[in-house]
Structure 1
């Protein structure tokens, strides 16, 4: 029988020990996005805004308990602590999807020479066209039954460091959905069937909004929005998006894994706009 109490106690103690270093690294990551000459300090910035937070201790306790419940065997204290990859978080907001291209390119340059990528970048999405978009960027995709949508990076200052930061990148429209879902559907899923269905509809409306903003910018500036941009995607209407279901998603290598959302918008920033 698995025992969460010693794991929770250990993880909270380790979290308190490195809290100062977490704060410093988080501030460094946030500043990199906010001051980058090609992403923020330019005539038409890619980054709209940036938020950050440290993990709340109560949420950390809940996270350890959830992760333990998903494991087949009891991990060691340190193994569990290393699984907690969102102790600090930075959220980067963009106006439209095409801006992911520039940001992803610059971020990979940074991690190839400096920060350590803990795992390959991953995009959570329900939209088939978004799957195709991220596939062309070389990013793996995963489907969450909650319709959670975001591009995730997990980094450490160096591979052996205990300090870790989760970076979420999403559009402003996707941020709206995340905040509504976080308020009504996390940590315990809503018991209202109507509310659950409306959240799914909202996800599709948000997808249509992001698609429309993409189209507006392409219309205003017919030239490519970024160097080495992906091939232009066909337009999806609001009516078409309303008919799309998660089962139509086909990721680059295999059918995406469907699993309950346990690391969605609830865990990033802890203030009003935090997960």
Structure 2
């Protein structure tokens, strides 16, 4: 007992309580995993091959994929949040952790983002999906920040060089189901995969790796702009060839 009459908690008891709480949270996840997967698959199928995302007979989506968070990865995330002083209880899991189901839409040209954004918002306007919060564009690049600023997006410039647009979708406002949709270019996907291998969830302690990841992000930004320039030149040349003479 301390001087103020409070008996300190037994560390072993606290640890056991934490393990029990996390297991209850994981069981809650297990109970909704099937429904999460169904909602996620519907989002993926709608966006991945939608006919409105074809221009000139070509699909503007390069590729797409989805994933449900692995149980042990979720356990690790719960531990990280608790260490940060933000513990997650079973009853608030689906409000506090919004990336349990994820869809990624990858496109070649940045200028095609507008069509993908319009398609997502069309579903929201129709009442089929609900945005859990305002969609967010993460970028380190001032030019990209200016581009995304023209859309109904919160633009966040991240020091980590991460670049992607995130939408948190629910089938209705009070639903526990949430699917995080990430939209990014193929170049940004390459950077993200490299960073995920080296720098996530625990940041690399190697100064050289950290610096090279930043350099790679600059190359990715330049590459995306070059692709857009190539696309515009190509479209212009097609217009000239097909113009009546």
Q: TM-score range by the shorter chain?
A: 0.7 to 0.9
1:198/1:107 CA distance change after superposition, 3 Å? same
Q: Secondary structure at the match of 1:50?
A: strand
Shift of 1:189: 1.0
Question: 1:112 offset after TM fit, Å?
Answer: 1.6
Matched residue count? 222
- Which one of the candidate residues 48, 69, 84 is aligned to 1:55? 69
Name the residue aligned to 2:133: 119
1:153 equivalent among 145, 149, 167:
167
Question: Is the radius of gyration larger for structure 1 or structure 2?
Answer: 2
The aligned residue for residue 83 of structure 1 is 96
Deviations 1:92-137 (A, max 9, x none): 0000111111111111011121111111100110000111111101
Pick from 80, 88, 105 the counterpart of residue 118 of structure 2. 105
Residue of structure 2 aligned with 1:177, choices 184, 191, 204: 191
- CA apart distance, 1:5: 3.1
After TM superposition, list the pairs within 5 Å mapping 1:1-275 onto structure 2.
4-40=18-54, 43-71=57-85, 76-113=89-126, 114-222=128-236
8 Å contact kept, 2:94–2:178: no
Give yes or no for contact 2:81–2:88 (8 Å, CA) kept in 1: no
Q: 1:41 to 1:129 in 2, by over 3 A?
A: closer
Structure ranking higher on relative contact order (CA contacts 8 Å, 6+ apart): 1
The 1-side partners of 2:37 and 2:55 are apart by 24
Is this contact kept in 1: 2:129–2:172, CA < 8 A?
yes
Secondary structure, counterpart of 1:38 in structure 2: helix
Question: Which structure dedicates a bigger proportion of its chain to helix?
Answer: 2
Tell me how far apart the structure 1 counterparts of residues 54 and 44 of structure 2 sit (CA, whole Å): 12
Determine the C-alpha separation between the residues in 1 that align with 2:121 and 2:32: 26
Q: Report what 1:234 is aligned to.
A: none
Is the Cα contact below 8 Å between 1:117 and 1:154 reproduced in 2? yes
Query: Do the aligned residues in 1 keep the contact of 2:48 with 2:105 (CA within 8 Å)?
Result: no
Tell me which stretches of 4 or more aligned residues in structure 1 moved more than 6 Å: none
Q: In the aligned structure 1, how far is the partner of 2:43 from the partner of 2:170?
A: 10
Superposition deviation, residue 162 in structure 1: 1.4
- Where does structure 1 lack aligned partners over 5 or more consecutive residues? 224-275
Superimposed CA distance per residue, residues 42-93 of structure 1 (whole angstroms, 9 cap, x where no aligned partner): 7132211110111011110111222233346x56432244211011110000
Report what 2:242 is aligned to.
none
TM-score between the two structures when normalised by the length of structure 2:
0.84
5+ long unaligned stretches in structure 2: 1-8, 238-245
Q: Is the 8 A contact 1:11 1:81 kept in 2?
A: no
- 1:64·1:80 contact (CA, 8 Å) conserved in 2? no
